[in-house]
Amino acid sequence: MKKICTLTATVLLASSMAFGGSFQLNLQGIRQTAMGGTGVAWPWDASTIFFNPGGLSRLSGIQAYGSVNIVTPNVKYVQTPTGGYSASSNTHTTTPFAVYVGGPIRKGSKIGVGLGIYTPFGNKLDWGNTWTGRYVVESISLQSFFFQPTVSYAINDMISVGAGFVYARGTVDIEKAIPVQDINGNDGQAKLKGNANGFGFNVGVQIKATEDLQFGVSYRSKVKMDVNGGDATFTVPASLAGNFPNTTFDSKLPLPEILTVGLGYKFTSDLMVQADVVLAGWKTYDSLSFDFAENKSVQDTHDPRSYKNTVAFRLGAHYQIDNQFAIMAGGAYDPTPTRDNLLSPDAVDGNRLTLSCGATYQPLPRLSIMAALNYTTTPKRNTSYDPAGMQGAYQVKSLLPAIGVSYTF
């Protein structure tokens, strides 16, 4: 029995906080989302606090910006090698958001200041309590909130630099079944819940080579999320309660460093095209460990992840129809950092293909209303999760509408 309890806790907790590529949200600006996620070279609005803090001093004035996205992913699983069993995740909606306030401290100033609050990682996935992988995960909810005070300085008419300090807060909530049954044949249940926090920074350089050609380089540091005193609770038959003590745990999880290089070029006075290349340092996430306050049958765990660094490519275009209306479109290719033999159903991911579009409307000279639509899919991917001996093919699809508004004071 002790071996079963230890194995159960290991599978539960080692897979529980898998912030993989599937949990990275590139939705921090409406215009940028509509243009395939590009946005490092051109400071469109106050969302440059996230994309490139160097562009903050380039804005025409202090701006308030807010946006919200509606994320409803669909994940399908087909058991391999037989292919006779399949399951789809239950529908759940999350609403990652972004709020930015900032710009030059006064008209003509070379100094810009601002604050960004945004959600760069997070998702919700619910497989239900009857599917074949319920002993690995039934449901998982991950959220993160980044707070970034930022300062920017225009060195001259061509080059501006910026930096932001990042304080991150996060929550995790996971449920899974335990392979022990009560007198009614119901599986035991395990729940893992905790809060995390971490620190990092965001720096950038924005280069205005000409009125039509601009460049940008942005670096977002690794953020090590620390979970201290998380709660692990178990619901099992009374005869087994001593083997499944409720306890607390500590853990650490590194979110990747991101380096982005981009350019934007205006082919005409109305048409601008921009492109980004994104290097993500997922390799730092090589394993996941948990330290439990009480060690009986629940033992400390150390589980391999072996994520890979990735290089993503993004392309977008912006066309100004008239003084009030503009349209955008774009696409992106974002390869997965996960390995084929270490893909857990709580962090399903694949090589992501994205198409996006959007529009802006300016009813008043200082007011902009923005909307975007983002479609992401992954090819069907045959994988396994070796720690649990689980094999299957996964595919992810999601259609993400978003809306935002900005006002320049």
**Mean pLDDT score, 304-318:** 89
**Mean pLDDT score, 29-57:** 95
Domain assignment of residue 154, given as a range: 2-403
Q: Is the pLDDT confidence value at 16 over 60?
A: no
Q: Is residue 408 part of a domain?
A: no
**Mean pLDDT score, 33-40:** 94
- Say which residue, 28 or 162, is predicted with more confidence: 162
Q: How confident is the model over 248-262, as pLDDT tens digits?
A: 888 777 788 999 999
> What average pLDDT is seen over the chain?
86
- Say which residue, 211 or 346, is predicted with more confidence: 211
Q: Report how far residue 391's alpha carbon sits from residue 302's, in angstroms, rounded to the nearest whole number.
A: 21
Q: Is residue 184 part of a domain?
A: yes
Q: Is residue 276 part of a domain?
A: yes
**Mean pLDDT score, 88-105:** 90
Q: How confident is the model over 319-375, as pLDDT tens digits?
A: 999 999 999 999 999 999 888 888 878 778 889 999 999 999 999 999 999 999 999
Q: How confident is the model over 64-91, as pLDDT tens digits?
A: 999 999 888 888 989 888 767 888 888 8
Q: What is the pLDDT of residue 303?
A: 64
Q: Global pTM?
A: 0.87
Strand-pair category, 111-118 with 271-280? unpaired
**Mean pLDDT score, 151-158:** 96
Measured in whole angstroms, how far is the alpha carbon of residue 312 from the centre of its chain?
Answer: 14
Q: Is residue 13 part of a domain?
A: yes
Q: Is residue 358 part of a domain?
A: yes
The CATH number of residue 65's host domain is 2.40.160.60
Q: Where does the pLDDT of residue 295 fall: very low under 50, low under 70, confident under 90, or very high at 90 and above? A: low
Measured in whole angstroms, how far is the alpha carbon of residue 111 from the centre of its chain?
Answer: 30
Q: Is residue 98 part of a domain?
A: yes
Q: What is the pLDDT of residue 274?
A: 97
**Mean pLDDT score, 103-126:** 89
Q: Is the pLDDT confidence value at 24 over 80?
A: no
Q: What is the pLDDT of residue 12?
A: 40
Q: How confident is the model over 220-235, as pLDDT tens digits?
A: 999 888 888 888 888 8
Find the angle CA(106)-CA(108)-CA(109) to the nearest 5 degrees. Answer: 60
Structural domains counted in the chain: 1
Q: What is the pLDDT of residue 4?
A: 40
Q: Is residue 152 part of a domain?
A: yes
Q: What is the pLDDT of residue 224?
A: 85
**Mean pLDDT score, 302-328:** 90
Q: Is the pLDDT confidence value at 298 over 70?
A: no
Q: Where does the pLDDT of residue 18 fall: very low under 50, low under 70, confident under 90, or very high at 90 and above? A: very low
Q: What is the pLDDT of residue 15?
A: 36
- Say which residue, 271 or 227, is predicted with more confidence: 271
Q: Where does the pLDDT of residue 293 fall: very low under 50, low under 70, confident under 90, or very high at 90 and above? A: confident
